[in-house]
Structure 1
Amino acid sequence: METFYTRLSEKISDLILAVIALGLLVVSVEYVQFLTDHPSTIRDPEFWKRIALTALVTVFTAYKFVAYSAYFCNPDNGARLAGLSPRRIVVLFLLDLVEVTLVAWLYAILLIGHLTSLGGREATISVELGATMLPFLFLFLALWHLTVLVWYRVARGGYRDMLIHLAFALAYLAMMTLLLAADTVRYKELFDWGAIAFFAGCVALLYWVKGIPDIRNALEKPA
């Protein structure tokens, strides 16, 4: 069932793809430029941590596009959206923009800063993951899930969907708290790779419990 918001969602989907493409482009250009300027970086474990995080952020943000598209392919969701008031439609649109903004922030946090360097600053730039980089990454991930939770609440979605996103938000906030409270300087390698593995597990679980079922429902119930 095609509704006003179904048509509007096509614009949001285009915006999501644009943000993902631009984020990948900027991060890739910066990493390649830094690597060509500093070839020894290829042997630096910190560089490979960034590569792993970039891959995971890409897979995570792709979920937003896939799940969003699948949601609007389900006629049951279209019927529910058709009954929403104009005020709820406006709120949903604003929440979509917040989600897209948070997706952009995930790519922004991966930047080294090499492209914006001035003068002799290049020598001071390092690919090392800063002390607050991973905590901020998990904070943005948690905020994204909380925003999606509110989106489902406004759209009168199912409680299962809301509980799933609440669980992921709490998990990311817990990991953020752990990284801020623990001695991440002394055991940096352990915490960095542990956090990356945790992120990978959460992304895989998100697809397993939410992404794949949503796609299956969309295929079984063509609009």
Structure 2
Amino acid sequence: MTAPPSTHPLEWIVSDGRTPYAEALASMEAHVAAIRAGTAAERVWLVEHDPTYTAGTSARPEDLHDARFPVFNAGRGGQWTYHGPGQRTGYVMLDLQQPHGSVPARDIRAYVHGLEEWLIRTLDHFNIRAERRAGRIGLWVPNRMGGEDKIAALGVRVTRWVSWHGVALNVDPDLDHFGGIVPCGISEFGVTSIHAQGVVATMEQADAALRAAWAGVFG
């Protein structure tokens, strides 16, 4: 049985400064419960974290090479991810029992595809062509040596059809910080950012691009 659509409009929140990772987890969990209860709006929450390594449910201990930053079990899908200054993390809390734009109800695969499309369209605002790759989570761009680097990561969790966690877009993080882990368990490819692609974008410009791209995918 499909739940009735929410009467609350989508909230779009951008947090100033740095949001502690543990605080973000607790806030998301509480908000997801409120969405399920019908007492809160769906939410897209854009944050920036202090340097942090997070482990998804498939993370392998050997892929943490250097725990130079705090480490958290995130509870989302996926493997190891880095969050830090210069990276925009987008936490997406939607009731997936309802359709959202091009994403049909109760289709987690389509939801993940929608998140990827959102990032692809966001990066297109900066004339950066990012692409999906079969068997490799995230969004990829070519590098100068004929390979590919990851410019954005995804990791989701769905609890009783409400999504949480989401995406991480590399605007201008310290790419050396990724060296303490094997990002998403993929060692043969590198990591890049909007700035490393030669585009000097601010976090505010990235946020504007994320918001502009949202409606074309999720309505």
* TM-score normalised by structure 1 residue count: 0.28
Q: Which of structures 1 and 2 has the bigger CA Rg?
A: 1
Query: By percentage of residues, which structure has more helix?
Result: 1
Higher RCO (CA-CA < 8 Å; seq separation 6+): 1
- With normalisation by structure 2, the TM-score equals 0.29
Structure in which a larger fraction of residues adopt strand: 2
